[in-house]
């Protein structure tokens, strides 16, 4: 597909979703596609004043939305899920154009949005608190959950829509308006999602206030304005640990609430009893899928010395034969890196690994499309030590492999990195599995057995510890972050007993 064609497809895809945004603004903010490394649109960015006004408008929307009954709010999200189903192929294509994912992965991301909408619809009738035994006679104690306020959502380029929806679907049923600052690399997918939500809002009727969901196009300065504004009750920020180190303190300074979903340095452990065929397939998807640009991408692999010589040749073969190409033109499994900077950080990490004695397989740039696009062969690096670039996240398809002989030792190294997002053990030994999942096992927010580190379902709480930021989104009880809790004690007696037996008689 040529450069001009991609521009046309972009425009047509946005229009199919219902967006009428001008994508050819003179001297606007250019949006690049990693498929070709060329611009597919030029948008008018939002400035500081736009951000302030959007937050004011969202705050006004909150005044009425919080009084709409939860199940009725759920009806809006149900309609949104219907519209998403109708636009799945278009939104999936938008993800492919902006983030370079294969159609299957692009549509998979939209499916995640549909799934969380379904989850949120059910949740809209289950926003319940506890009734708690009280020590005072004639009293009742309970907790009530109320809408929280405006939710500011900052998202990363590599998942241009699903993480927004994990937040937005829950926030909307919880009674909160949302203001979304997508990555400056993927604003078109955000505008397309907003257009799809607008269709649902139109069907929903008058009890949805204006400005319930807004998109702000721009760079870090827009994200910073959301983080600093005291009218934003919750900031949910997905991106690098570097970004979290800036956003987290800004929100904390004004005692705002924050969900941080930051970088990971995810690992797998292959034990002697592992099903090696299954392990190979799980590692291949976890490490090479989405061109290594998932927060949950497998970046380190500890292989027991007894099976090292069995699995490594198979892995080398998979790395040598994996298809790299334009995912909209071919059925390649590995698409492009997002940009030149990603390629540079990959080559510099590989150089560093090689200087430390690592043996690098793959990693070469591929001749696909124009010179402005960055397609690479995924790299498998056999490392003598758990050291150097292995200790940090490089957002590219590099898998560092290390041999181990003792599980305790492998676990210690597994946990000896900043990131704490996702982890896997491959074993059929009950003891090894339970140790990995125990208090002295993996220290990550996600710990899997016999599946890879990536590809989480929406039903579980998603997020990680340490430099991953500690936030949780999506399923389980993550909804509580979008509401405020009130503890209510009601006295229906004719006395006034004080808690803890305290006496304070005034006559
Ligand atoms: P990034 O940190 O460069 O940008 C993410 C978002 O933060 C963008 O919208 C950006 O404009 C904004 N931003 C950047 N600096 C900011 C600042 N100072 N103030 C306010 N906003 C700011 O990340 P990226 O390159 O887009 O994405 C890749 C990173 O995101 C990787 O580290 C990956 O692991 C992480 N990620 C984490 C998760 C998760 O759920 N844990 C999911 C996806 C991506």
- CB of 219 closer than 6 angstroms to any ligand 1 atom: yes
CATH numbers and ranges of domains, the chain: 6-262+469-487 (3.40.605.10), 266-458 (3.40.309.10)
What is the model's pLDDT at position 3? 55
Convert 31-45 to b/e letters by CB count within 10 Å (16 or more is b).
bbbbbbbbbbbbbeb
Q: Is the pLDDT at 244 greater than 70, yes or no?
A: yes
Q: Is the pLDDT at 2 greater than 60, yes or no?
A: no
Which tokens belong to 177? 């308006």
Q: Is the pLDDT at 398 greater than 90, yes or no?
A: yes
Give me the phi and psi of 356, to 5 degrees please: -90, 10
- Give residue 162 CA to ligand 1 midpoint distance, Å: 14
Which of 482, 479, 474, 469 lies closest to 237, judged by CA?
469
What is the model's pLDDT at position 507? 80
- Give residue 15 CA to ligand 1 midpoint distance, Å: 28
- Note the pLDDT tens digit of each residue in 309-346: 999 999 999 999 999 999 999 999 999 999 999 999 99
- CB of 239 closer than 6 angstroms to any ligand 1 atom: yes
One DSSP character per residue, 108-171 reads HHHHHHHHHHHHHHHHTT-----EE--SSTTEEEEEEEEE--EEEEE--SSSSSHHHHHHHHHH
Mean pLDDT of all residues in 31-42: 97
Which of 243, 340, 392 has most ligand 1 atoms within 8 Å of its beta carbon, as the pocket-test mutant? 243
Q: Is the pLDDT at 1 greater than 90, yes or no?
A: no
% of residues, the chain, pLDDT over 70:
99
The SS3 call for residue 480 is helix
- Give residue 104 CA to ligand 1 midpoint distance, Å: 23
Q: pTM score > 0.85 for this model?
A: yes
Q: Residue 280: which H helix or E strand, with range?
A: helix 276-288
Task: Determine which residue's CA is closest to atom 14 belonging to ligand 1.
Answer: 220
Q: Residue 198: which H helix or E strand, with range?
A: helix 187-204
- CB of 421 closer than 6 angstroms to any ligand 1 atom: yes
CA distance 498 to 137: 10
- Give residue 3 CA to ligand 1 midpoint distance, Å: 27
Mean pLDDT of all residues in 131-150: 97
CA separation, residue 93 to residues 103, 165, 326, 333, 457 (Å): 6, 17, 13, 16, 21
- CB of 159 closer than 6 angstroms to any ligand 1 atom: yes
- Note the pLDDT tens digit of each residue in 169-195: 999 999 999 999 999 999 999 999 999
């Amino acid at each position: 597909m040529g450069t001009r064609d991609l521009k046309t497809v972009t425009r047509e895809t946005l229009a199919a979703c219902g967006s009428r945004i001008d994508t050819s603004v003179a001297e606007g903010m250019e949006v690049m596609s990693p498929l070709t490394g060329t611009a597919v649109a030029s948008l008018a960015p939002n400035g500081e004043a736009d951000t302030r006004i959007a937050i004011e408008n969202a705050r006004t929307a909150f005044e009425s939305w919080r009084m709409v009954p939860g199940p009725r709010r759920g009806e809006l999200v149900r309609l949104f899920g219907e519209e998403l189903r109708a636009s799945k192929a278009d939104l999936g294509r938008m993800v492919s154009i902006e983030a370079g994912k294969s159609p299957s992965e692009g549509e998979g991301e939209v499916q995640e949005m549909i799934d969380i909408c379904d989850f949120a619809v059910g949740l809209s009738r289950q926003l319940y608190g506890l009734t708690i035994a009280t020590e005072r006679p004639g009293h009742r104690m309970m907790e009530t959950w109320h809408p929280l306020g405006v939710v500011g959502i900052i998202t990363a380029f590599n998942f241009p829509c699903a993480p927004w929806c994990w937040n937005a679907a829950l926030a909307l049923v919880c009674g909160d308006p949302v203001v979304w600052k997508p990555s400056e690399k993927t604003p078109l997918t955000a505008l397309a999602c907003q257009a799809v939500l607008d269709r649902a809002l139109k069907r929903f009727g008058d009890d949805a206030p204006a400005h319930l969901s807004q998109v702000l196009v721009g760079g870090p300065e827009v994200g910073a304005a959301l983080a600093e504004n005291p009218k934003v009750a919750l900031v949910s920020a997905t991106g690098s640990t570097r970004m979290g180190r800036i956003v987290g303190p800004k929100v904390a300074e004004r005692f705002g609430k924050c969900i941080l979903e930051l970088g990971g340095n995810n690992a797998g452990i292959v034990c002697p009893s592992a099903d090696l065929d299954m392990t190979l397939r799980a590692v291949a998807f976890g490490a090479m899928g989405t061109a290594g640009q998932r927060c949950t991408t497998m970046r380190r692999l500890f292989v027991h010395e007894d099976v090292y010589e069995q699995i490594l040749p198979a892995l080398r073969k998979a790395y040598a034969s994996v298809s790299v190409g334009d995912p909209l033109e071919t059925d390649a499994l590995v698409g492009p890196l997002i940009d030149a900077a990603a390629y540079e950080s990959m080559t510099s990490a590989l150089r560093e690994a090689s200087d430390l004695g690592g043996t690098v397989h793959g990693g070469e740039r591929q001749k696909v499309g124009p010179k402005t696009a960055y397609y690479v062969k995924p790299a498998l690096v056999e490392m003598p030590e758990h050291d150097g670039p292995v200790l940090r996240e490089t957002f590219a398809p590099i898998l560092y492999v290390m041999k181990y002989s003792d599980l305790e030792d492998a676990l210690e190294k597994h946990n000896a990195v900043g990131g704490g997002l996702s982890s896997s053990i491959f074993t059929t030994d009950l003891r090894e599995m339970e140790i990995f999942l125990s208090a002295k096992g993996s220290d990550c927010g996600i710990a899997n057995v016999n599946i890879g580190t990536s590809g989480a379902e929406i039903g579980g709480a998603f997020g990680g510890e340490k430099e991953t930021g500690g936030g949780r989104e999506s399923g389980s009880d993550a909804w509580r972050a979008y509401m405020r809790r009130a503890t209510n004690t009601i006295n229906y007696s004719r006395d006034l007993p004080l808690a803890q037996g305290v006496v304070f008689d005034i006559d």
